[in-house]
Structure 1
């Protein structure tokens, strides 16, 4: 969180900066301003969570500053510090919902308690207000369950300064967190996607400034597709001309670049020009169509100027040539032919969600024909989860189409040049012995090594004398014994290290196998 100190007396500012233990209060940065205009600029360009301000200053009072903030929708808590017990000042400060009116001289311990209470109340109120405000926007923009007039009326409860003349840049931000693992598994790079959403929200606030944190909006739209909606407010004093739009486009490009470099994620950004509150639902619909019509969007910022681009598909895919290549099992040539065709679509402005879906189903039809001629069920080669994933995502972007091609080439290359069963079994055991700490099901192994799941059970019974799960437990318990005797790692950490999130379950398994608990085993050894 960030604090702002405003006082024309530099000694007071320095004293407050040094006298308060800001880190203990959860404040990461303390901004300083000596004039009201300087304070406004800082607030408009940074997320400020609490304001400490003198009242009586040259070139504008602290009351003037708070009036400006409330008129522009800033609801941050304000604490006034003053030498004067002026009733009129105090009355106006209360009317503007200041948190506290504090008379100097300053007792730093007492002021610290006031700041802490202000932050706690602010965080609690902000959380409640954000949830209700976000739901109101959802009802208006997405579900269209509320009229524009009713929406504006209800929105004033959260931002009294809002009116139908306010303008926003509407945007869609798409991230692509899925990657190919071990050639045949589609996984999300992050165990908790909400952590990424939080980082993206912080990035938006950092790039678009403090005005976005108070009046802007960012929320998940289609969570399965990892799509976010963001409304970037247009400050009244900046206007909505081409220079402002170009600035927003540059900032959007910065967000795309940072997402790739810092978060290691590809993304797409679709933005409109400034629109009034009344026009936002229809503008959002146009952006969604823009997204559907432009699959050539990896790490790009696209605007509604692309909306009316002419689409010229050109020649259709030559399925006869592609089928010949598939039958020859030349999967590298297959890959290059499909890429060359998609590049033509791109050059003609025809790489859309619809053309990608069509191309995807044409390729699948050829592959199923190939497998049918070999009398091999498609589900033995193409996993159900991957098939369903690509069905849902293929139309979103060229990114997912390329991921699909990589998946097909990897899977069919391994299928086309099979090892002997003995070699496959050796590879299977080597893989399990390397990855036994991970959560790997029989179905996962079946997808990777082209064995039926039930046959994998027979292999383990035949070769190891036990079931697959018993073999995993055996490997984990042996590693647990090694860690208990050779390291001082806490038992709970050992449980996690060998693959058990549930410490009690690990303890029961260990005792069942060795007759004593892990802690007792460590003492004995």
Structure 2
């Protein structure tokens, strides 16, 4: 019989779970409760906890943080998550493949009983495993975190890449290791996500991603180890003598893993299977696999074998984009996009698509697009400086898929804006709106042009064609119009009126005002006040009569 700990900050939820399951029937002899991560840690230090039933979200520490702590200190404990969020159905299915599970609140007690029963059986089976009978037998299950750190130090070359240094490090850390053992490395790289996920979702996905890889690529988990290398990258190390490490079986397992992740994690990824190497050779093998991934700009959701892979052996030829420039100027953007996609597909199929060719294509296409924008008076660096455009541009060098995504975004945005420019009245309206919104600020013609992504000279021509005056004349007219209103209808000091419409220099304001109205500000105010007094006098005489 096993012991179980329920962790949830809601007392009623804990009581409900306690009373809703026949614990003896599912193999649990004692049930403990904790209402925070801190209480849970204290319970682990006092009692043997075989199964942890834990809420994910709590105010003083999350279930994920608790799980990380438990994995470091009590790796044999099986964990089941509880949550009220139903938007992780895809993660639930992935987590179920590993040692964790995921149950939605309100908890269906029949389902929870099945989950706990499976967890108890898993603990029972692992407890029945005998100690190591030979090097390699259950090797990866021995002190998993110490072993993981040992391998990370090897691949990061903290431990020098020679047999003596590796053996010495293993002895110092008391890790069973045989220098003659061979391992098959599999580099797993997420190439892109098709769904925007929050940081909270990302943490859950990390656990789910890892667990599904362990289940599909490391059957039984006694024949392999999975290392997280960060940035959506993992390295699976398989016992070279295990049946599951056979090339055909391993390739099929990687295909199944890719299909599973593409379906449930909404992502594209690739797996690179290396040659069998000894421990001290693993760092150099990882560098070769990483280089293959860097050079793979053509294919997603595939399995690659190191000894079969020959990427971009032929030199590609760039297309003539002068015709594309004409097509873009004439508004045939979909034809340009179709030709770009066809070119990339042809180069990939012919084995010519390399990072160098991709980079050259990007440079030429940018030049073509920017030339077209220049002819239309549009400032590309302003139009395409938003966060989405910049992110797509950064990612465009990673693969043909990412490049086409950036091209489509940039072309559609640029041509859509160019069309609106041709309807110049809409641009003039935006300029007038900008001026009215910033009338009290100190801004220049360049600031106005930047707000509508146009060259200042080009914008001036468009504006004058529509309004009959330059932007600077229009701005002066608007500002002095406001000044006239304030001088005539308020007692504000002239200096305050000047500041109100963006003039910090009082003398300059007075000169411009007199040039516009033939009166200085003080004379204008007196004239308007006299007019108002005369009008009020006439109204008074009319009322008396």
> What TM-score comes out, normalization by structure 2 length?
0.52
Cα distance, 1:394 vs. partner?
2.5
Match of residue 137, structure 1, among 131, 134, 151: 151
> Which structure's CA Rg is the greater one?
2
| Corresponding residue for residue 373 of structure 1 | 375
* 1:281-360 mapped onto 2 (5 Å cutoff): 281-309=283-311, 311-360=313-362
**In 1: Cα distance, 2:126 partner to 2:405 partner:** 58
Higher relative contact order (CA 8 A, sep 6+): 1
| Corresponding residue for residue 211 of structure 2 | 202
Match of residue 66, structure 1, among 109, 131, 139: 131
For the pair 1:233 / 2:241, whether they are aligned, the reply is: no
* 1:217-232 mapped onto 2 (5 Å cutoff): 217-221=226-230, 223=231, 226=232, 228-232=233-237
**In 2: Cα distance, 1:447 partner to 1:162 partner:** 64
Cα distance, 1:329 vs. partner?
2.4
**In 1: Cα distance, 2:173 partner to 2:224 partner:** 10
* 1:306-455 mapped onto 2 (5 Å cutoff): 306-309=308-311, 311-383=313-385, 385-386=387-388, 388-390=390-392, 392-418=394-420
> What TM-score comes out, normalization by structure 1 length?
0.54
Secondary structure of the residue aligned to 2:253 is helix
**In 1: Cα distance, 2:178 partner to 2:172 partner:** 12
Cα distance, 1:323 vs. partner?
1.7
Cα distance, 1:301 vs. partner?
1.3
Change in Cα spacing, 1:239 to 1:333, as seen in structure 2 (3 Å) is: closer
| Corresponding residue for residue 535 of structure 2 | none
**In 1: Cα distance, 2:450 partner to 2:224 partner:** 49
**In 1: Cα distance, 2:288 partner to 2:343 partner:** 28
Secondary structure of the residue aligned to 1:220 is strand
**In 1: Cα distance, 2:279 partner to 2:356 partner:** 31
Deviations 1:84-126 (A, max 9, x none): xxxxxxxxxxxxxxxxxxxxxxxxxxxxxxxxxxxxxxxxxx6
**In 2: Cα distance, 1:20 partner to 1:448 partner:** 70
Deviations 1:255-297 (A, max 9, x none): 1111111111121222213322232222212212222332222
Secondary structure of the residue aligned to 2:276 is strand
Cα distance, 1:177 vs. partner?
4.0
| Corresponding residue for residue 444 of structure 2 | none
Secondary structure of the residue aligned to 1:231 is strand
What RMSD in Å do the two structures reach over aligned CA positions? 4.5
**In 1: Cα distance, 2:134 partner to 2:124 partner:** 13
**In 2: Cα distance, 1:235 partner to 1:289 partner:** 22
For the pair 1:191 / 2:256, whether they are aligned, the reply is: no
Decide whether the 8 Å contact of 2:322 with 2:368 is kept in 1.
no
Unpaired runs of 5+ residues, structure 1, are 4-13, 31-44, 56-61, 77-125, 180-186, 428-445, 453-457, 459-525
Unpaired runs of 5+ residues, structure 2, are 4-22, 34-48, 54-76, 79-96, 100-118, 431-448, 456-474, 476-545
| Corresponding residue for residue 97 of structure 1 | none
Change in Cα spacing, 1:164 to 1:67, as seen in structure 2 (3 Å) is: closer
